[in-house]
Amino acid sequence: MDHRIIDFILHVTNEALLITLVVCGPPIGLSMIVGLLVSLFQAVTQIQEQTLTFVPKMIIIFGTLAALGPWLGTMLLRFTQFCFEGFPKILY
- Up-side HSE of residue 47: CA atoms within 13 Å toward CB? 11
| Rounded Cα distance, 52 and 55, in Å | 6
How far apart (Å, rounded) are the C-alpha atoms in residues 83 and 44?
A: 51
Q: Which pLDDT tens digit goes with each residue over 17-54?
A: 999 999 999 999 999 999 999 999 988 998 888 788 88
- State what percent of residues in the chain have pLDDT above 70: 98
Q: What is the CA radius of gyration of the chain?
A: 20
Task: Find all residues with CB under 8 Å of 89, minimum gap 6, and list them.
Answer: 8
Please tell me the distance from the alpha carbon of residue 61 to that of residue 17, in angstroms, as a whole number.
Answer: 21
Q: What average pLDDT does the chain have?
A: 90
Asked if residue 92 has pLDDT above 80, the reply is no
Q: Which of 77, 62, 79 is nearest to 26 (CA)?
A: 62
Q: In the prediction, which pLDDT does 1 show?
A: 65
Confidence band for 58, pLDDT divided at 50, 70 and 90? very high
Of 9-13, 81-85, 87-91, the least confident: 87-91
- Which pLDDT value is given to residue 20? 94
